[in-house]
Amino acid sequence: MTITETRTKLHDLVESLPSEDVPTALRLLESLKSSADSVPLALRDVPIDDEPETEEERAAVAEARREIEEGRVIPHDEVMRKYGL
């Protein structure tokens, strides 16, 4: 999809929002723009992680995925309560 097509789709999506959701959408888009504006130009094209993944990291990710599959997770709301958020 081209940028023009993506922008058109975004405009269509915004136009289809219920009126009560428009302020929330505006805040979300403004936060995306301010995030992009706050990143120094020199850092915008730098990969998030350009180092090869180590065996230790691969093992940790595999273990985390197993824990998720087995249901050994802490629900988001429980973590938020624990930290008073």
Question: What is the pLDDT at residue 39?
Answer: 67
Model pLDDT for residues 16-71, shown as the tens digit of each residue: 999 999 999 998 888 877 766 676 666 667 777 778 899 999 999 999 999 999 99
Q: Which amino acid is at 31?
A: S
The pLDDT, as a whole number, for residue 31 is 81
Whole-angstrom Cα distance, residue 3 to residue 85?
38
Neighbours of 17 (CB within 10 A): 13
User: Is the pLDDT score of 75 beyond 80?
Assistant: yes
**Cα 67 from Cα 80, distance rounded (Å):** 20
State the pTM of this model.
Answer: 0.40
